Structure 1
Amino acid sequence: MDWRLPGGVTRMILVRHGRPSEEMKGRCYGRLDVSLAPEGHVQAQRAASLLSQVELHGLYSSPRLRALDTAKRVAEGRGVGLQVEEAFREIDFGLFEGLTYEEAERRFPSLYAEWMAHPEQVRFPEGETFSEMRERVRAGGRALRARHPGQCFALVSHGGVNRTLLAEALGMADRHLFRLDQVHAAVNVIDFYGDEPVVKAMNLEP
């Protein structure tokens, strides 16, 4: 990846958090504040190393601990402050939060079946719909781009947030969102020529 920024281009770098703590494996977690697993800290450091030569004019993070812990690694040794942005939190699973997928299926069989068939259309009880998350994430992305015209900035958040912003750049329908893989600590790059996005890199594994 050539990290030199062409003149007049606004570059958005999207980083997914590292692997979360092991007790969350196989569970729904969006709103839950989950820390990184030991492997997640290693992944975060690798992502930071990958971006070590990139000049950042802004560094932002979701408020969730797993994203903040990852972003702090990226921030180390840089002259740019880390700012928390509520818009980029992961989707709120409501009453699904903390449940295993098997528990969610037993407690909410009809809704679970709908979620598996049409994940972009479900409203989680006492939580969010994907369209609600999509609108806050896209609005947040526009705000950051307006804050950094002609500059490079990074956002550390979640798989769902990254997919939402990448899908917007690619003009993908919501139902195709999960065609975009996002490994833990993945790095993605979108360049904006005015309002026209060009995806330069996606799902880079540090």
Structure 2
Amino acid sequence: MEASRATPTPTATLRFTLLRHGQSTWNAQGRLQGSTDAACLTPKGIEQAKDAAARLRDTHFHAMVHSPLRRAADTAAIVWGERAGPKHALHDLRELDLHSWEGALKTEAAARDPGAYAAWKDRPAAFQLDGRRPVCDLWRRARSVWRALLDPGGALRGSLGPAQGAPSVLLVAHQGMNKALISTALGLEEDAFRSLPQANSAYTCLDIGLGQQPGIHSVTVVCLNQGPIHNILAGISTTTSGLLVLLARAADADEQERTAAAVAQALGLEGPSWQTPQASEDAADLPGSILSLAATDDGPTLVCLDAGGVEALLHACLGTRPEAVRWARQPGTLTVLQFEAKGDAMRPVVHCANCVLQG
């Protein structure tokens, strides 16, 4: 279900907190899980789930919906704790189907089907396996999940919370499924599959405004891939060009400096060296000027700018439409972007957005 082209005043707003499960045994082994249910949480994954529970301890949820697969269901149980309210396992929330690859090491799948594996990594919309298009199938399933959750008469809509106010729903699933849910809400197509990674036990908050007709009418991304900074940055090469760390300017200069120092430490840098664009710089030129820094710098580029500039940059990178999608403007938060060269183009990867520094 995609953001509508017109944006009428919402008749109701729901907040969805999309959480990825903790590390599983097959995550740790580098196996392709797909929608199999053979893996379970590792001890590290259990601790990650407990950490997520602590971070969300004070959040009130009206309901929880989760994938039936064990790694997600067990994470959901830990995070939900003793809360009251309806809980639903939804089959369509399972991870994407990887058919004959499921259970194989990633290296085995790459050696067995090099062409398909290359498409899986670089051209997800064109990726075919066993006569199916797994990422396209996942997008269709994500839209069906939104229909069940949001449409009048949807299978779960009536149990998610009061018709008025702002019901809050915890949704626990998988990296691929959560990426598809976020992308379809933002109006992004299947090629965005590699642009929005979701770390184990990290969560994304979306405020979704509903109109009188079925469908999503407006979306505010409150935070994207919120979690401990070392989890978010794990696996990101800090020596290659294209890594851009944005700090939304805070009113408290001391707090801003502390955040800068913590980020620099997490990146293994000697110390923070934030570049601050001039306030007089034309907002229309801001995304291009900042992206040029990321393209030419040999290491991470750390940029401090106002929250409106962060929002403009995210719109420019992902192609989200300001009339239907809003990136929340939150001073003092972090946004981490990376630009991967793919032929003549640069693919943006949003590792996190509007996130509060944690751990």
TM score, norm. by length of structure 2: 0.52
* Residue 111 of structure 1: how far off its partner (Å): 2.0
Aligned-residue CA RMSD (Å) = 2.0
- TM-superposed CA distance for 1:163, in Å, is 0.9
Among candidates 147, 151, 172, match of residue 188 of structure 2: 172
Question: Given the superposition, is the C-alpha separation of residues 84 and 198 from structure 1 closer, same or farther in structure 2, using an over 3 Å criterion?
Answer: same
Give the whole-Å Cα distance in 1 for the aligned partners of 2:104 and 2:83: 38
Q: Retained in 1: the 8 A contact 2:125–2:133?
A: no
Deviation at 1:54, TM superposition (A): 1.6
Correspondent of 1:157 among 170, 173, 178: 173
Structure number with greater CO (CA < 8 Å, separation at least 6) is 1
Once superposed, which parts of structure 1, at least 4 consecutive aligned residues long, lie more than 6 Å away?
none
Q: Which residue of 2 aligns with 1:3?
A: none
Report what 2:207 is aligned to: 191
Residues 116-135 of structure 1: pairs in structure 2 closer than 5 A: 116-125=121-130, 129-135=134-140
Counterpart contact for 2:62–2:168, Cα < 8 Å: yes
Change (3 A) 1:39 1:79: same
SS of equivalent residue, structure 1 residue 9: strand
Residue in structure 2 matched with residue 39 of structure 1 by the alignment: 44
> 1:88 pairs with 93, 99, 105, which one?
93
Deviation at 1:23, TM superposition (A): 7.1
What does the per-residue CA deviation read over 1:101-121, in whole Å, with 9 as the maximum and x for residues that have no partner?
221122223322332331232
Stretch of structure 1 that moved more, 20-29 or 186-195: 20-29
Q: Which amino acid aligns with 1:177?
A: F
Any idea what the Cα deviations from partners look like across 1:38-77, whole Å, max 9, x if unmatched?
Answer: 0100111111122221221110110111101100012211
Distance 1:46 1:173 in 2: 32
Q: Contact between 1:167 and 1:173, CA under 8 Å: does it hold in 2?
A: yes
Match of 2:270 in 1: none
2:24 paired residue number: 20
In structure 1, the partner of 2:214 is none
Residue deviations 1:64-106, cap 9 Å, x none?
A: 1110110001221101243100011001111101111221122
Matching residue of 1:201: 223
* Structure 2: gaps of 5 or more residues: 1-10, 152-156, 211-216, 229-359
Q: Secondary structure at the match of 1:120?
A: helix
Q: Which letter does structure 1 place at the counterpart of 2:62?
A: H
Match 2:147 to one of 130, 137, 142? 142
Contact 1:93/1:128 (8 A) holds in 2: no
In the alignment, which residue of structure 1 is the partner of 2:57? 52
**Whole-Å Cα distance in 2 between the matches of residues 114 and 198 of structure 1?**
31
* Distance (Å, rounded) in 2 between the aligned partners of 1:128 and 1:177: 13
In the alignment, structure 1 segments of 5+ residues that lack a partner are 1-6
Distance 1:75 1:116 in 2: 34
Hey, what's the Cα distance between the residues in 2 that align with 1:193 and 1:82? 22
Q: Is the 8 A contact 1:72 1:82 kept in 2?
A: no
* Percent of paired sites with the same residue: 31
Distance 1:56 1:153, change over 3 A: same
Partners of 2:195 and 2:140 lie apart in 1 by: 20
Partner of 1:77: 82
**Pair 1:127–1:73, CA change in 2 (3 A):** farther
Larger Rg: 2
Deviation at 1:126, TM superposition (A): 6.8
